[in-house]
């Protein structure tokens, strides 16, 4: 009964989404206020019905309804309740429903926080978001229905052990909040193209939404990286895996977008460019979702095994990307060029920022899609690994980091080079000296470490000078300004983390029997043997590694080697001792003869800085959204009404 | 500087920068592509000698052995037609199993052994790495074409 209710709710939601898109868009085109006013109630009803469908699916999972195919394939009666809930979005179908639900949430938010916008703008933004909802709901109902039934199965085949982790409770929703959040920026861009009104106030409306989506995406990627670090047992924090690249590409373009929106708002320049970036950010989000969720990454043939699904995805992408680019081509010449600027100015620095970010995105896109194309064309199998991405990314990111330090200090329109030099020369000199000396504290001097430190310190110096001159000028609090600086500091922190862990991490793979000790970077690991334990849906051998430093106890780590009951899948659960300047990481390999085990030990200096930096970036975004001027129009209108 | 000159200079800077970036990306791309070979191709000598490549197939049953250090593993990868010996130093992934699909990335050593620096067995028990699947498929096709002239299936 409940699954049928969910299915019915999806159909109603599709009807609502059609209403939400057709009436308001037509109403805005013909200037019929009563049609435009349908936008808000229809959008709210649409998100309500999607939420009902989602609740029905979650209920089916929580109540172990093994007559639903989706539940049988991704859940298990002995799976703990919290993972039965997260299994709701553990499948292709369920994750699409989550995507649609979050699109509903963003649409709902737009209906709430758009009172200060002109009616036709609201109608168009909500209408465009409705069109996206239509596409996803159709896709779900036609090819990927999560509510399909079958004869009751005795039990499920369990959720992939990798996904049975607390991190997976919040990582996908947060990541999707980021992906889908760009739909708001996209809808604003299309609304502006349709209406032809693309001015500074448009950028001001679009900015907080874009920054919010970007902050979520930053946090989502950070959680994904952290999850891969502790869950996969390899101790890596970024693998250049296609699923990771799929989230990195919209992030890179989104980062370019929030910077170019700043220019559009402050100076009226980069308008057409900003619109194009908004389209690109959302298109890449869609592409990323489908790449990860359609199974096309593991094999292009899985795409062919379900032609309806593959065809729909391609058609949907073609309509969204092609349609919006076509609209752009027709309307971009009406947008205008905006203010002029000199060769050295805030604008030119931000333009360089955009070029570098987009090139980085392009190189990731090339490395991710090229193997798929070659395979699809039957030209053989190739892979593009971390060496490619690393050798491309480092030279692209270094100038970008330089710009992060100097860009915010440059004046709009025309900046004076001598002025910049005189403000930054002492800071630069100090950064160089410290960057050259700091690597000695780690024992071995390495050039890349000095370069990494220099980039990070340079950013810190830039932020410090910027904040100091603002304080001295007596200008008051600006959430936008301090948010930007906080985010830039976050970049510096992440850079230090990446530099240190790449240069100084150490790894040992060893055979250990009870009583064996291994010393790694001053930490002594003593293997105290393994013990058999029973988990809720798995059994495990749990190892105990006692860690001491100079004879003083540090911690005891308990890595596990699990076997899941339903699937029989083996799984290594790592054990980590986190620290501000180093992580100690252990994982069990396999049992060897004579009661010995193969054990993996890592010492990872400063690795948590990578994620702390990402959190600072996201917080910077949140701080910037709270800026008063995004609400100024709201208050003004409130007064007018009163 | 006149306005027009300044614009030209700006365009020149952007073009040069883009050209340099494109050269960098394409060069890195060309030198870091990792190609895939089946054991049959490796035995025939089609795989490169001085370059990293991937080989895939099934882990031959009964071929896995470990050295006394416990972490250096030897096994054979087969596409049912040919096998090649592989050495790997490190912990094998959870889903590495004899008789199951595997993909190894590394180089050929002088004595014909494949020295892997990465062994991939994917996240799902029933999932066959696509490269391994295609290696088996190719080997089967090759055998079929040998047999079919006699009209057998």
Strands B53-59 and B33-37, by their bridges, are parallel
Model confidence pLDDT, tens digit, residues A487-501: 999 999 999 999 999
The alpha carbon of residue A465 and the mean position of all alpha carbons in its chain are separated, in whole angstroms, by 30
Token reading at B44: 């025939």
CA distance A66 to chain B (A): 21
Residues B121, B79 share a domain: yes
DSSP letters for B51-100: S-EEEEEEEPTT--EE-TTSSEEEEEEE-SS-EEEEEEESPPPTT--TTS
Q: What is the mean predicted confidence (pLDDT) over A555-568? A: 89
Residue A362: which of A249, A240, A221 has the closest Cα?
A: A249
Residue B29 confidence (pLDDT) above 80: yes
Question: Do the Cβ atoms of A32 and A118 come closer than 8 Å?
Answer: no
Say yes or no for a CB contact (<8 Å) between A299 and B133: yes
Q: Using alpha carbons only, what angle is made at residue A600 by residues A598 and A601, rounded to the nearest 5 degrees?
A: 135
Token reading at A259: 């910077």
- Looking up residue B41, the CATH number of its domain turns out to be 2.40.50.140
- Split at pLDDT 50, 70, 90, the class of A299 is low
- Split at pLDDT 50, 70, 90, the class of A640 is very low
Residue A155: helix, strand or coil by DSSP?
coil
User: What percent of chain A is predicted at pLDDT more than 90?
Assistant: 55
Say yes or no for a CB contact (<8 Å) between A571 and B94: yes
Residues B51, B20 share a domain: no
Q: Could you tell me which residues come within 8 angstroms of residue A573 by beta carbon, excluding any fewer than 6 positions away?
A: A233, A540, A559, A560, A561, A562, A587
User: How many Å apart are CA A213 and CA A621, to the nearest integer?
Assistant: 9
**Chain A contacts of B125, Cβ < 8 Å?**
567-569
* Nearest-by-Cβ selection for A382 from B10, B17, B33: B33
| pLDDT value, residue B13 | 82
Say yes or no for a CB contact (<8 Å) between A343 and B21: no
User: What percent of chain B is predicted at pLDDT more than 70?
Assistant: 80
User: How many Å apart are CA A566 and CA A77, to the nearest integer?
Assistant: 10
Q: What is the mean predicted confidence (pLDDT) over A294-322? A: 73
Q: Between B99 and B107, whose confidence is greater?
A: B107
Residue B25 confidence (pLDDT) above 50: yes
Question: Do the Cβ atoms of A600 and A177 come closer than 8 Å?
Answer: no
User: How many Å apart are CA A258 and CA A277, to the nearest integer?
Assistant: 9
Residue A474 φ/ψ region, left for φ over 0, alpha for ψ in the -120 to 50 degree band, beta for the rest: left
Residues B123, B68 share a domain: yes
Residues B71, B5 share a domain: no
Model confidence pLDDT, tens digit, residues A430-443: 999 999 988 888 87
Taking CA atoms, what residue in B is nearest to A159? B124
**Domain region containing B69:** 34-150
Q: Could you tell me which residues come within 8 angstroms of residue A422 by beta carbon, excluding any fewer than 6 positions away?
A: none
Residues B15, B40 share a domain: no
Residue A270 confidence (pLDDT) above 70: yes
Q: Where are the domains of chain A?
A: 1-163, 165-332+342-393, 506-608
For chain B, what is the domain count?
2
What is the b/e burial string over A521-547, where b = at least 16 CB atoms within 10 angstroms of the residue's CB?
A: bebebbbeebeeeebebbebbbbbbeb
Instruction: Work out the number of other CB atoms within 10 angstroms of the CB of residue A291.
Output: 21
The alpha carbon of residue A547 and the mean position of all alpha carbons in its chain are separated, in whole angstroms, by 35
Residue A639 confidence (pLDDT) above 70: no
Residues B145, B73 share a domain: yes
Model confidence pLDDT, tens digit, residues A157-171: 778 777 788 878 888
User: How many Å apart are CA A464 and CA A469, to the nearest integer?
Assistant: 9
**Chain A contacts of B36, Cβ < 8 Å?**
380-383
Query: Hey, of B66, B71, B88, which one would you mutate to test binding to chain A, going by the most A CBs within 10 A of its CB?
Result: B71
For chains A and B, CB pairs below 8 A equal 103
Q: What is the DSSP letter of B106?
A: E
| pLDDT value, residue A337 | 62
Residues B94, B128 share a domain: yes
Model confidence pLDDT, tens digit, residues A175-204: 999 999 999 999 999 999 998 888 788 888
Residues B74, B45 share a domain: yes
Residue A133 confidence (pLDDT) above 90: yes
Question: In sequence order, what are the beta bridge partners of A605?
Answer: A582
| pLDDT value, residue B152 | 35
**Chain A contacts of B92, Cβ < 8 Å?**
589-590
Say yes or no for a CB contact (<8 Å) between A298 and B95: no
Say yes or no for a CB contact (<8 Å) between A567 and B9: no
**Chain A contacts of B69, Cβ < 8 Å?**
510-511
- Per-range mean pLDDT, top range of A37-51, A89-103, A235-249, B48-62: A37-51
Question: Do the Cβ atoms of A20 and A126 come closer than 8 Å?
Answer: yes
User: How many Å apart are CA A397 and CA A492, to the nearest integer?
Assistant: 12
Instruction: Work out the number of other CB atoms within 10 angstroms of the CB of residue A149.
Output: 14
Instruction: Work out the number of other CB atoms within 10 angstroms of the CB of residue A473.
Output: 7
Residues B120, B77 share a domain: yes
In the numeric block, the tokens 């000598």 are attached to B45
Q: Between A155 and A574, whose confidence is greater?
A: A574
Question: In sequence order, what are the beta bridge partners of A1?
Answer: none
* Nearest-by-Cβ selection for B125 from A380, A384, A567: A567
CA distance B31 to chain A (A): 8
Token reading at A50: 């999607």
User: How many Å apart are CA A256 and CA A419, to the nearest integer?
Assistant: 26
* Nearest-by-Cβ selection for B91 from A362, A384, A509: A509
Model confidence pLDDT, tens digit, residues B77-95: 988 888 999 999 888 888 7
Say yes or no for a CB contact (<8 Å) between B34 and A384: yes
Residues B86, B16 share a domain: no
- Split at pLDDT 50, 70, 90, the class of A15 is very high
Residues B14, B75 share a domain: no
| pLDDT value, residue A453 | 94
CA distance A448 to chain B (A): 19
In the numeric block, the tokens 């055979």 are attached to A511
Say yes or no for a CB contact (<8 Å) between B91 and A596: no
Say yes or no for a CB contact (<8 Å) between A392 and B125: no
Q: What do you get for the CA distance between the two ends of chain A, in Å?
A: 50
| pLDDT value, residue B128 | 57
**Chain B contacts of A91, Cβ < 8 Å?**
none
Q: What is the mean predicted confidence (pLDDT) over A300-315? A: 69
* Nearest-by-Cβ selection for A385 from B34, B70, B125: B34
Token reading at B131: 């490269």
Question: Do the Cβ atoms of B37 and B53 come closer than 8 Å?
Answer: yes
**Chain B contacts of A298, Cβ < 8 Å?**
122, 127, 130
Residue A569: helix, strand or coil by DSSP?
coil
Residue B145 confidence (pLDDT) above 60: no
B153 touches chain A (CB under 8 A): no
The alpha carbon of residue A509 and the mean position of all alpha carbons in its chain are separated, in whole angstroms, by 32
| pLDDT value, residue B122 | 59
Q: What is the mean predicted confidence (pLDDT) over A83-89? A: 89
| pLDDT value, residue A290 | 82
Token reading at A267: 């100076």
Interface of B with A in 24-43 (CB under 8 A): 24-25, 28-29, 32-36
Say yes or no for a CB contact (<8 Å) between A388 and B32: yes
Query: Hey, of A352, A375, A381, A568, which one would you mutate to test binding to chain B, going by the most B CBs within 10 A of its CB?
Result: A381
| Mean per-residue pLDDT of chain A | 89
Taking CA atoms, what residue in B is nearest to A298? B130
Residues B114, B52 share a domain: yes
**Chain A contacts of B94, Cβ < 8 Å?**
233, 569-572
The enclosing H or E element of A383 equals: strand A382-384
Q: What is the dihedral of CA A400, A406, A412, A413, to 10 degrees?
A: -70
Say yes or no for a CB contact (<8 Å) between A511 and B70: yes
User: How many Å apart are CA A126 and CA A184, to the nearest integer?
Assistant: 9
Residue B72 φ/ψ region, left for φ over 0, alpha for ψ in the -120 to 50 degree band, beta for the rest: beta
Question: Do the Cβ atoms of A219 and A178 come closer than 8 Å?
Answer: yes
User: How many Å apart are CA A10 and CA A137, to the nearest integer?
Assistant: 7
Question: Do the Cβ atoms of A465 and A427 come closer than 8 Å?
Answer: yes
| pLDDT value, residue B18 | 81
**Chain A contacts of B122, Cβ < 8 Å?**
298
User: How many Å apart are CA A36 and CA A28, to the nearest integer?
Assistant: 6
User: What percent of chain A is predicted at pLDDT more than 70?
Assistant: 95
| pLDDT value, residue B147 | 44
Residue A125 confidence (pLDDT) above 80: yes
- The reported pTM is 0.91
| pLDDT value, residue A260 | 93
User: How many Å apart are CA A36 and CA A313, to the nearest integer?
Assistant: 30
Q: What is the mean predicted confidence (pLDDT) over A404-413? A: 88
CA distance A301 to chain B (A): 9
Q: What is the mean predicted confidence (pLDDT) over A238-255? A: 91
Query: Hey, of A235, A236, A350, A590, which one would you mutate to test binding to chain B, going by the most B CBs within 10 A of its CB?
Result: A590
Phi, psi values for residue B107, rounded to 5°: -130, 160
């Amino acid at each position: 009964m409940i699954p049928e209710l969910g299915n019915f709710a999806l159909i109603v939601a599709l009807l609502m989404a059609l209403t939400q898109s057709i009436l308001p868009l037509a109403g805005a085109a013909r200037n019929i206020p009563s049609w435009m006013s349908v936008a808000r109630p229809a959008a709210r009803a649409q998100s309500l019905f999607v939420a009902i469908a989602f609740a029905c699916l979650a209920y089916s999972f929580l109540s172990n309804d093994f007559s639903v195919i989706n539940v049988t394939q991704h859940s298990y009666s002995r799976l703990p309740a919290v993972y039965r809930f997260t299994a709701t979005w553990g499948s292709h179908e369920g994750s699409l429903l989550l995507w649609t639900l979050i699109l509903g949430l963003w649409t709902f938010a737009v209906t709430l926080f758009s009172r200060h916008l002109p009616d036709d703008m609201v109608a168009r933004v909500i209408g465009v978001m409705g069109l996206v909802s239509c596409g996803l709901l159709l896709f779900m109902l036609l090819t990927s229905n999560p509510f399909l039934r079958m004869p009751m199965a005795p039990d499920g085949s369990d959720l992939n052990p990798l996904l049975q982790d607390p991190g997976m409770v919040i990582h996908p929703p947060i990541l999707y909040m980021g992906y889908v959040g760009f739909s708001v920026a996209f809808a604003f861009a299309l609304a502006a193209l349709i209406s032809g009104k693309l001015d500074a106030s448009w950028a001001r409306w679009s900015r907080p939404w874009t920054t919010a989506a970007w902050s979520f995406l930053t946090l989502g990627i950070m959680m994904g990286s952290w999850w891969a670090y502790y869950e996969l047992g390899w101790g890596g924090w970024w693998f250049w895996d296609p699923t990771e690249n799929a989230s990195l590409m919209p992030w890179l373009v989104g980062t370019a977008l929030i910077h170019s929106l700043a220019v559009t708002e402050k100076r009226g320049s980069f308008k057409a460019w900003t619109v194009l970036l908004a389209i690109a950010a959302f298109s890449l989000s869609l592409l990323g979702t489908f790449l990860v969720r359609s199974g096309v990454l593991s094999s292009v043939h899985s795409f062919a095994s379900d032609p309806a699904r593959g065809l729909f995805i391609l058609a949907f992408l073609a309509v969204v990307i092609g349609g919006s680019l076509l609209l752009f081509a027709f309307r971009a010449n009406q947008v205008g060029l905006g203010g002029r600027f000199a060769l050295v100015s805030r604008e030119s620095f931000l333009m360089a920022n955009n070029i570098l970010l987009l090139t980085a995105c392009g190189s990731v896109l090339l490395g991710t899609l090229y193997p798929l194309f070659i395979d699809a064309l039957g030209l053989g199998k190739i892979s593009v690994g971390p060496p490619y991405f690393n050798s491309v990314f480092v030279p692209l990111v270094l100038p970008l980091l330089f710009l992060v330090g100097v860009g915010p200090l440059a004046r709009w329109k025309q900046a004076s080079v001598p002025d910049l030099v005189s403000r930054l020369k002492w800071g630069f000199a100090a950064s160089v000296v410290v960057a050259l000396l700091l690597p000695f504290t780690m024992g071995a001097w390495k050039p890349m470490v000095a370069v990494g430190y220099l980039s990070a310190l340079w950013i810190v110096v830039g932020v410090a000078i910027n904040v100091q001159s603002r304080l001295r000028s007596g200008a008051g609090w600006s959430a936008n300004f301090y948010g930007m600086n906080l985010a830039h500091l976050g970049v510096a922190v992440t850079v230090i983390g990446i530099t240190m862990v790449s240069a100084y991490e150490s790894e040992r793979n060893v055979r250990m029997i009870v009583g064996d000790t291994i010393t790694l970077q001053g930490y002594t690991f003593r293997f105290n043997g393994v013990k058999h334990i029973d988990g809720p849906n798995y059994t495990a051998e749990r190892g105990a590694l006692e860690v001491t430093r100079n004879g003083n106890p540090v911690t005891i780590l308990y890595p596990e080697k699990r076997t899941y009951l339903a699937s029989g899948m083996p799984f290594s659960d790592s054990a980590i001792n986190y620290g501000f300047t180093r992580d100690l990481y252990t994982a069990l390999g396999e049992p060897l003869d004579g009661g010995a085990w193969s054990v993996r030990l890592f010492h990872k200096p400063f690795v948590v800085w990578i994620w702390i930096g990402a959190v600072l970036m996201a917080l910077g975004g949140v701080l910037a959204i709270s800026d008063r001027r995004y609400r100024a129009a709201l208050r003004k209108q409130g007064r007018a009404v009163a | 500087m006149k306005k027009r000159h300044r614009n030209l200079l700006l365009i020149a800077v952007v073009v040069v920068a883009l050209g340099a970036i494109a050269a960098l990306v394409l060069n890195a791309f060309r030198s870091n592509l990792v190609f895939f070979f089946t054991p049959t191709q490796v035995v025939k000598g089609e795989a490169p000698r001085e370059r990293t490549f991937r080989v895939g197939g099934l882990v031959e049953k009964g071929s896995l052995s470990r050295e006394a250090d416990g972490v250096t593993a030897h096994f054979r990868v087969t596409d049912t037609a040919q096998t090649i010996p592989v050495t790997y130093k490190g912990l094998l992934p959870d889903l590495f199993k004899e008789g199951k699909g595997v993909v190894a990335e590394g180089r050929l050593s002088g004595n014909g052994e494949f020295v892997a620096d990465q062994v991939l067995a994917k996240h799902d028990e029933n999932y066959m790495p696509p490269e391994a699947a295609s290696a088996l498929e190719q080997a089967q096709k090759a055998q079929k074409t040998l047999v079919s002239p006699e009209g057998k299936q």
